[in-house]
Structure 1
Amino acid sequence: MILWLICLVVGCLILMMARVNAWIWLAAEALWIFMGGAVAHVDLPILVLLAIVMFTPTLLIAIPSIRQSLISRPALDLFRKIMPSMSATERDAIEAGTVWWDADLFSGKPDWKKLFVLSPPRLTTEEQSFLDNEVEQLCAMVSDWDTTVVWQDLPPQAWQFVKDKGFLGMIIPRQYGGKQFSAYMHSQVIMKLSSRSSVAAISVMVPNSLGPAELLLHYGTEQQKNHYLPRLAQGLEIPCFALTSPYAGSDAAAIPDVGIVCKGMHEGQEVLGFRVTWNKRYITLAPVATVLGLAFRVRDPDGLLGDEPEPGITCALIPTDHPGVVTGRRHWPVNAVFQNGPTSGKDVFIPMDWVIGGLAQVGKGWRMLMECLAAGRAISLPSSSVGFSKMATRGTSAYTAMRRQFKIEIGKFEGVQEALARMGGHLYMMDATRRLSSMAVDAGEKPSVISAISKYHVTERGRMVVNDGMDVIGGKGICMGPGNFLARVYQQIPIAITVEGANILTRCLIIFGQGAIRCHPYVLKELAAAADDNHERALKDFDDLLFSHLSFVAANAARAFVGGISCGWLLPAPSIAAKQTRRYYRAVVHLSSAFGLLTDVSMGVLGGTLKFRERISARLGDVLSQLYLISATLKRYEDDGRQVEDLPYVDWSIQDALHRAQEAIVDVLHNFPNPWIAFGLRVLIFPLGLIYRKPSDVLGTRVALAMQTPGAARERLLDDVYIPQGDDPLACGEKAFRLMPLVHQIERRLKDSVKEGALPAAPQSLIDMRDWIALAAERGLLNPEERKVLDDFAHYGDQTVQVDDFSPDFDLEENRQKALDVLS
């Protein structure tokens, strides 16, 4: 009897996960009832009762006409009542871009082949040369200290170099004189520049992200492309794009800036155009731009364009020297001091030809922006965050390896190791996410949801990395000066958090709010079926979708339970994946199924009000995001050739992300409006309790030690960024760090001499260490090569530890003159 009942449970779970049709369910039920009599010897009346109870609903579902009449028609009527209203701008935002791996994560059953089929990212010979030469040269021309204190901008020579070498035309095709670099190369350039100077990175990223070039490529007329794209590529034009208004920041679709359709004079002729009034702020490059991309709302009171009095948001290109255009004033973004400022105009007449795409694109600007934003958001800010995080991690890990307190390197203290582990683990996952997102763009995707995930989570982890770095280097981090490699980045982090959609907005409204409808395999189709005016067709389509949707929910529920009861071991993992990481693939399937189930239950219980329950939406988005970040990390481990030395970073970052995803699910259930449903879901998803733990202390120590050990693993973590030369503090720290193995080897050899009294113990101060080195050499305990190693280590280490100080006037005039001398 017990075995017979176990067969019922196991059989149901298998059939639910296999998503078989109702007739197969009916056959399976008949077989089970037959086995009850033949094997389990169940009494006939009980079997008859079971047959009635099981066969009746199954037959009802199996026969389409009955199912549609009794279930689907009432369900369609109810769905139409609770269906959330959707404005045209909301629909444009949801339908913009493409869905990719995010849809697989919504499915509960990711197809890992989609990731494995993507080749590891590679640069062309031309791209690698540009990165090794022009980008390297630009990095050498700038620093965060000079750009923020001396110039409050890029130095003039650096600006000219940016224009002359084609930095502003990286996304423009070669036929127009551009570089036509891949998205991955674009990402590499921004990452490297960000490891040296945020001003340089921002000045380059904006023209290559959402802006005139991107919009022209996709929507411009041939005349507009032929005129502007060569000039943008050669740096003859500096572009900006004005979208944000004082009273329409995050709600950009509500911009108040207006263009009234009218006729006016242009170049001596009367032409159709707009009388535009705008007031924009936070516009990067606006103070120095020569061409202004402008988004405004069109009104056509006289019907010059047709019957629609308000065609909608429109994008135009306006030369900044056009009469009435106001630019030049600057904002001061938290000590990044890149070119950013307001622009305005009142009753400025512009001809219709200046609309991007011409007359055919009037009113389609919002859709244009939504479709083009995804690619830029997936590349620019994630790449810049990874760049400055690599710089912070390189400098901090080197500092902890050679800086001593209490006669021991501070990197051996457990508290410091805890911070280092977070830095290394987060950075590995951040870089993996950056790479995968740019690969998606290169594969032809416009990943709107994935770009939001990348932007939010990579910038937030960048904040964590820099905060931990500041905690570790202590007093050196809070004293400004050219020797401080972290302070400016620490100050500038809110910029990445705020722009291209503030992170609060991105987390609460976009990731899940957009993804739940766009990435779900059935919801958008159900909305379309419910909106169909042909009632017979609507019922048929809705019926098919409804029962496919219910089958989908059942499959996710079954997989979630199987994953929870077996800690993931009974769920599938791709056979081509590395053995060391297969448990993580199973965990993703488990939490993906749980996420899909939780999403459907939340939409069913909350209906159209879900989009107003921002905290629940945000936590659901957190689950989806962590699954994407884990997928990117697994992909990176495979692409890098399964480097065993990288496993501490892989294990730490994925275990941390799994725990975060689990906590997000628990938080959703703790705040779910129906506690009984929440309790049932928790038992279903985590029948054995919470199974994903934070990374252990032992694992954290492994990560911290790997970061403080020179070698290939550390270089893979920190590769492709700028490493300064000379006496730059970051360069000195790296030079001292690379000497550490030889220094330790020499110290071990001298240990017996210290014990025997032939040599005093090495001092903690690197300045005093020079006298100790001289004494050891004088007593014949060091050969010339060893003495040079120790002398260099003492010099570079001391340069790293020192803190900048200034005269009472902070040497501002002297610093400016030095910068001029260097540039000349």
Structure 2
Amino acid sequence: MARPPMPDPLALLDIDSLLTEEEREIQRGLADFLDARARPGVADRFERGVFDRDLARELGAFGVLGMHLTGYGCAGLGPVAYGLACLELESVDSGLRSFVSVQGSLSMFSIWRYGSEEQKREWLPRLAAGEAVGCFALTEPDAGSDPAAMRTRAVRDGSDWVLTGTKTWITNGGIADVATVWARTEDGVRGFLVPTTARGFRAVDVPAKLSLRASVTSELVLEDVRLPDTARLPHAEGLGAPLSCLNEARFGIVFGAVGAARDCLRTTLDYASTREQFGRPIAGFQLTQAKLADMAVSLGGCALLAVHLGRLKERDRLRPEQVSAGKLNNVREAIGIARECRTVLGANGVTLDYSPLRHANNLESVLTYEGTAEVHTLTIGRALTGIAAFR
């Protein structure tokens, strides 16, 4: 006898039972908000290549921006609650989760962790409310996986600093009010808060993207941008500072990838239960069920890994190589699920009427940014063998 399809494939392994009631309430509340406000029209925004700027204030009012930070208008919630928010955001679109990750885990975290008290008071409440948008400028045209090769320089001129260089693939760059810019100085890599209204600063959006289209990606050009010393992040010394910020954002990706894959599988389960061929729903064929079962098991494993890493982070026991393992595995599995879901959808799957191929395109960027699959593989390899194979 046929039964109704499982509404949430994560119920297969009862992932919900691993969460606290507060975490479940936060997840449900955000899911309802996104269903009402962000999910409608996301395919159209993807097709047109636009980001809904009004969502920043609404997400700020909901308490999502910098929700894992404390003080200065931030919610101060735990790692798993933040991860679940990333899951729900990316279930809508990776570009939306990217906006929140960059705002909270890169821009805000860099100020919260390395900024002066004055910098925190100036920027964090506005960023948490969505009244201001931040971006994080580390990657350069010739320095992606090797940020130590950056060419952007900050030179002392009296009591000021003068910044010159180019940053690329910067999420939120074209809509940002402040950019955390990392530059080489005589004393090593340092971070600077650059108002985007500063003379000599300009942002040019990357055109003709095939991925993360409902998100802003820009090139930042700094031509002799003069800043006072109060713009320097006083506690950021060396490359370890920006890398620690990236680790915060990567943690969110571990959960976010689960959200994208879950949405693909939900969409496909619904489709397979109603699409009929040869006189019966295609969900009733063994080959289709084999695909669905394999994907559900893979998705459940990704969710278990994400929650486990979140609990480690709660106890301050999460190591960088563990975050690398989570990002590498979950994004790789999510791409596989998205592609397999498209095969179940048949020709319909290549249209924007269904989400899997949109998610697959987005996940190609997620696989690359904040550490490529190759870099995370070598990070894990170094942890296992004690030998660094990067050079």
Instruction: Please confirm whether the aligned pair reaches a TM-score higher than 0.5, indicating the same fold.
Output: yes
In structure 2, what is the equivalent of residue 280 of structure 1?
Answer: 167
2:218 to 305, 316, 341: 341
1:373 to 246, 255, 266: 246
| 1:446 positional shift | 4.2
Correspondence 1:191-270 to 2 at 5 A: 191-209=87-105, 211-263=106-158
**Do 2:192 and 2:231's aligned partners in 1 also have CA atoms closer than 8 Å?**
yes
The answer to whether residue 315 in structure 2 is matched with residue 475 in structure 1 is no
In structure 1, what is the equivalent of residue 257 of structure 2?
Answer: 385
Tell me which protein shows more strand as a share of its residues.
Answer: 2
Task: Provide, for residues 671-714 of structure 1, a one-character-per-residue CA deviation record: whole Å limited to 9, x for no partner.
Answer: xxxxxxxxxxxxxxxxxxxxxxxxxxxxxxxxxxxxxxxxxxxx
Task: Provide, for residues 113-154 of structure 1, a one-character-per-residue CA deviation record: whole Å limited to 9, x for no partner.
Answer: xxxxxx944253xx655543355223322233122135x333
| 1:219 positional shift | 2.2
The residue matched to 1:164 in structure 2 has which SS?
Answer: helix
In 2: Cα distance, 1:135 partner to 1:423 partner: 22
In 2: Cα distance, 1:291 partner to 1:135 partner: 29
Task: Provide, for residues 548-607 of structure 1, a one-character-per-residue CA deviation record: whole Å limited to 9, x for no partner.
Answer: xxxxxxxxxxxxxxxxxxxxxxxxxxxxxxxxxxxxxxxxxxxxxxxxxxxxxxxxxxxx
Alpha carbons of structure 1 residues 129 and 421: separation in structure 2 relative to 1, 3 Å = closer
| 1:497 positional shift | 0.8
**Do 2:66 and 2:109's aligned partners in 1 also have CA atoms closer than 8 Å?**
no
| 1:452 positional shift | 0.4
In 1: Cα distance, 2:320 partner to 2:208 partner: 30
In 2: Cα distance, 1:425 partner to 1:262 partner: 59
Task: Provide, for residues 744-785 of structure 1, a one-character-per-residue CA deviation record: whole Å limited to 9, x for no partner.
Answer: xxxxxxxxxxxxxxxxxxxxxxxxxxxxxxxxxxxxxxxxxx
The answer to whether residue 19 in structure 2 is matched with residue 149 in structure 1 is no
**Do 1:286 and 1:327's aligned partners in 2 also have CA atoms closer than 8 Å?**
yes
**Do 1:121 and 1:439's aligned partners in 2 also have CA atoms closer than 8 Å?**
no
**Do 2:163 and 2:224's aligned partners in 1 also have CA atoms closer than 8 Å?**
yes
Alpha carbons of structure 1 residues 349 and 613: separation in structure 2 relative to 1, 3 Å = closer
The residue matched to 1:237 in structure 2 has which SS?
Answer: coil
**Do 2:339 and 2:356's aligned partners in 1 also have CA atoms closer than 8 Å?**
no
In structure 2, what is the equivalent of residue 291 of structure 1?
Answer: 178
Task: Provide, for residues 339-361 of structure 1, a one-character-per-residue CA deviation record: whole Å limited to 9, x for no partner.
Answer: 1111011222222221112xx64
Alpha carbons of structure 1 residues 129 and 429: separation in structure 2 relative to 1, 3 Å = closer
Q: Percent identity?
A: 23
In structure 2, what is the equivalent of residue 490 of structure 1?
Answer: 360
Structure 2, unpaired ranges of 5+: 1-16
Task: Provide, for residues 217-258 of structure 1, a one-character-per-residue CA deviation record: whole Å limited to 9, x for no partner.
Answer: 222222222222222212222110000000011101111111
- Structure 2 letter corresponding to 1:146: D
The residue matched to 2:175 in structure 1 has which SS?
Answer: coil
Correspondence 1:558-637 to 2 at 5 A: 611-612=388-389
Structure 1, unpaired ranges of 5+: 1-118, 264-271, 300-310, 518-609, 615-824
**Do 2:135 and 2:173's aligned partners in 1 also have CA atoms closer than 8 Å?**
yes
In structure 1, what is the equivalent of residue 10 of structure 2?
Answer: none
**Do 1:142 and 1:197's aligned partners in 2 also have CA atoms closer than 8 Å?**
no
Correspondence 1:495-514 to 2 at 5 A: 495-507=365-377, 509-514=378-383
- Structure 1 letter corresponding to 2:190: T
The residue matched to 1:292 in structure 2 has which SS?
Answer: strand
In 1: Cα distance, 2:223 partner to 2:293 partner: 54
The answer to whether residue 329 in structure 2 is matched with residue 431 in structure 1 is no
In 2: Cα distance, 1:156 partner to 1:224 partner: 24
Alpha carbons of structure 1 residues 234 and 158: separation in structure 2 relative to 1, 3 Å = closer
The residue matched to 1:444 in structure 2 has which SS?
Answer: coil
In 2: Cα distance, 1:355 partner to 1:515 partner: 37
- Structure 2 letter corresponding to 1:377: R
Alpha carbons of structure 1 residues 235 and 171: separation in structure 2 relative to 1, 3 Å = same
- Structure 2 letter corresponding to 1:459: V
Alpha carbons of structure 1 residues 258 and 199: separation in structure 2 relative to 1, 3 Å = same
**Do 2:324 and 2:380's aligned partners in 1 also have CA atoms closer than 8 Å?**
yes
In 2: Cα distance, 1:224 partner to 1:510 partner: 33
**Do 1:138 and 1:158's aligned partners in 2 also have CA atoms closer than 8 Å?**
no
In structure 2, what is the equivalent of residue 440 of structure 1?
Answer: 312
**Do 2:182 and 2:242's aligned partners in 1 also have CA atoms closer than 8 Å?**
no
TM-score, length basis structure 1: 0.43
In structure 2, what is the equivalent of residue 627 of structure 1?
Answer: none
**Do 2:90 and 2:259's aligned partners in 1 also have CA atoms closer than 8 Å?**
yes
- Structure 2 letter corresponding to 1:162: L
**Do 1:241 and 1:292's aligned partners in 2 also have CA atoms closer than 8 Å?**
yes
In 1: Cα distance, 2:288 partner to 2:312 partner: 36
The residue matched to 2:68 in structure 1 has which SS?
Answer: coil
When Rg is computed on C-alpha atoms for both structures, the one with the higher figure is 1
**Do 1:147 and 1:199's aligned partners in 2 also have CA atoms closer than 8 Å?**
no
In structure 2, what is the equivalent of residue 415 of structure 1?
Answer: 287
The answer to whether residue 214 in structure 2 is matched with residue 327 in structure 1 is no
In structure 1, what is the equivalent of residue 7 of structure 2?
Answer: none
| 1:285 positional shift | 0.3
Structure having greater relative contact order (Cα 8 Å, sep ≥ 6): 2
In 2: Cα distance, 1:440 partner to 1:333 partner: 36
| 1:314 positional shift | 0.8
In 2: Cα distance, 1:515 partner to 1:293 partner: 33
Task: Provide, for residues 270-293 of structure 1, a one-character-per-residue CA deviation record: whole Å limited to 9, x for no partner.
Answer: xx2322111000000000000000
In structure 2, what is the equivalent of residue 187 of structure 1?
Answer: 83
In structure 2, what is the equivalent of residue 169 of structure 1?
Answer: 66
In structure 2, what is the equivalent of residue 453 of structure 1?
Answer: 325
